């Protein structure tokens, strides 16, 4: 049983009654309870009053039970035509990673790591949870943060993870790898790419391998 269903039943409401209170239909409540529709901030604000909870708490509780959407693959050196998976919001695959409670109102998502550029901390196949940078409330990163970064080169985009560092009056994005082929990238340097910080990495999970 999902958290939304638990809260509805604890409030003594049927799906139809909750739908009426939120100005929607019973099938929509069914989809939300079964995670066939994403519980967005707008949905949380509509449902929370009838459930006697706050929108932020409702979003956290539901996401903790259902996980985060996997929106793409982070792989240094792989420039592609799209930065994230081309899924409708309601059809994105999910992974059982809880939302970070420090950012209750933020957009949160997961990326799968491919390759070896961050293999000291995120081996190939690891999933990382991220908070959208625009929702962190920060203007600038802090050294040591791991960032979800996009590098744009014409129509192509590289999605990668990098550690933020400051040295010699310059700002850098650094790999954390046993492979010496991966080099630091100077922000505002002259490598022909546009760098965009998209998210802050807040956690990770790696499936066990069995030989």
pLDDT tens digits along 34-49: 877 777 778 888 999 9
Q: Across-strand partners of 165?
A: 172
Strands 68-74 and 94-95, by their bridges, are antiparallel
User: How high is the pLDDT of residue 1?
Assistant: 58
What would the pLDDT profile of 3-29 be if each residue is shown by its tens digit? 788 889 999 999 999 999 999 999 999
User: How high is the pLDDT of residue 39?
Assistant: 77
User: How high is the pLDDT of residue 55?
Assistant: 80
- In the chain, the N- to C-terminal Cα span, in Å, equals 35
Q: Degrees (nearest 5) of the Cα angle 185, 108, 139?
A: 50
pLDDT band at 58 (very low <50, low <70, confident <90, very high): confident
Contacts of 189 (CB under 8 A, 6+ apart): none
What would the pLDDT profile of 160-175 be if each residue is shown by its tens digit? 999 999 999 999 999 9
pTM of the full structure: 0.70
User: How high is the pLDDT of residue 40?
Assistant: 78
Share of the chain above pLDDT 70, in %: 91
Contact 106, 136 (CB under 8 A): yes
- Rounded to 10°, the helix 3-10/26-33 angle is 130
Task: Dihedral sign for Cα 155, 161, 165, 168, please.
Answer: negative
User: How high is the pLDDT of residue 63?
Assistant: 58
What would the pLDDT profile of 71-126 be if each residue is shown by its tens digit? 999 999 999 987 776 555 556 788 878 778 788 778 889 999 999 999 999 999 99
Distance CA(211)–CA(203), nearest Å, equals: 26
Contact 185, 191 (CB under 8 A): yes
User: How high is the pLDDT of residue 94?
Assistant: 82
Q: What is the mean pLDDT of residues 40-65?
A: 78
């Amino acid at each position: 049983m999902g958290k939304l269903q638990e809260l509805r039943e604890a409030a003594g409401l049927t799906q139809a009654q909750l739908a009426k209170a939120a100005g929607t239909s019973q099938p929509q409540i069914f989809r939300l309870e079964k995670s066939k529709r994403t519980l967005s901030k707008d949905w949380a604000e509509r449902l929370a009053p009838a459930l006697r909870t706050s929108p932020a708490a409702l979003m956290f509780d539901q996401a903790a039970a259902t996980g985060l959407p996997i929106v793409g693959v982070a792989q240094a050196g792989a420039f592609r035509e799209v930065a994230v998976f081309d899924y409708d919001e309601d059809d994105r695959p999910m992974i059982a990673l809880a939302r970070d409670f420090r950012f209750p109102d933020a957009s949160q998502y997961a990326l799968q790591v491919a390759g070896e550029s961050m293999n000291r901390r995120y081996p190939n196949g690891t999933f990382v949870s991220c908070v959208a940078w625009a929702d962190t409330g920060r203007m600038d990163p802090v050294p040591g943060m791991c960032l979800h970064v996009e590098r744009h080169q014409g129509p192509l985009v590289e999605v990668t993870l990098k550690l933020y560092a400051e040295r010699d009056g310059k700002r850098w994005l650094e790999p954390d790898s046993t492979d010496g082929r991966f080099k630091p990238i100077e922000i505002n340097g002259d490598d022909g790419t546009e760098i965009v910080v998209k998210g802050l990495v807040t956690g990770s999970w790696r499936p066990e391998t069995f030989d």
